Amino acid sequence: MRQIKIGETTETVIERSDYPPEKIRQILGNETIAVLGYGVQGRGQSLNMKDNGVRVIVGQRPGTRSWAAAQKDGWVPGQTLLPLEEAARRGTIVEYLLSDAGQKDYWSTLKPLLTAGKALYFSHGFSIVYGEQTGVVPPKDIDVILVAPKGSGTTVRRHFLEGKGINASFAVHQDATGRARERCLACGIAIGSGYLFETTFHKEVVSDLTGERGVLMGAIYGLWLAQYEVLREHGHSPSEAFNETVEEATQSLYPLIAENGMDWMYANCSTTAQRGALDWFKRFRDVVKPLFEQLYKKVESGEETRRTLECNSRSDYREQLEKELKEIAESEMWRAGSVVRSLRPERVSEK
């Protein structure tokens, strides 16, 4: 555990060394962790916990693609792979990792199975914070905790296998047993986190929804697409437009930022690039910041939540999603990207 100070703000950070394997097993030794849902987060978190010596069972609907994927990963039907209700019944800590819309739909079935002393674990504050929309209001006699990895479940698993850990947020919403915090932190390290930063359910969901729609996914793709289209409209080839928009960012510059920060990346670029970046970043900030303010207000008010639940609850949601993703995949920008990626040295060596 360490104290970090950024400006006038001091934060306590939980480190992996604070919860070595023997301490995790001591805290969770009598627990059964039931992971409901075997999507991206469910898979990564459950496999990491199993590898860390924690007793884990997976709950999933039989006959689905996720059930088949869990079997392929070594979960045994009737033993460690069970229907959702049976897993929830057996679990003492229930990781509720269905989709946000799925959590809303399944809540009336799950709630009676959350008997006194259990813990209900989330990786997103969505269902609790927007409970008036989801209907998710936990019983008063259980712990309600959160561990939110700052990345995809694929990254959670990949980092774990590489001996690294991903950053994660943690929060305790309800402590009925007096053990909620210890359960939360032990689970947080067991799933593969390297560092845990304390937050609240409300702050986690507002920052997360803003980030996903903003620089993590929505805004970054919007910026890439705008630059790509401008370059193409002025006669640049697809490969040149893609290289200058995406490839150089993801393969060269973003890794430099990850290593030592934005200033270090700037210092390791040409003086022409430095001058251009320093002259233009505030102009982009000034144009985009009002849009981020609008986005933040829509998230905090619950408007974005309502749209998410409405869209994801439609019977044709999966078909519409596949259609939208196909449009992106078949766009010229990402067809160019597929060709450019195929030329990377590691791809060539695999052929």
Strand partners for 77: 81
d(CA 146, CA 95): 9
> Among residues 124, 202, 234, 236, which one is catalytic?
124
Task: Please indicate whether residue 202 is annotated as part of the active site.
Answer: no
> Under the phi-then-psi rule, with left for phi > 0, alpha for psi from -120 to 50, and beta for the rest, what region is 178?
left
Give the whole-angstrom CA distance, residue 168 versus residue 283: 32
Helix (H, G, I), strand (E, B) or coil at 303: helix
Tokens of 158: 């990949």
Map residue 60 onto helix, strand or coil: coil
Burial of residue 279 (CB within 10 Å: 0-12, 13-18, 19+) is: exposed
Name which of 64, 132, 57, 149 is nearest 95 in CA terms.
57
Report phi then psi at 34, rounded to 5.
-100, 115
DSSP 243: I
What is the crossing angle of helices 201-213 and 271-301, to 10°?
A: 130
Catalytic positions: 124
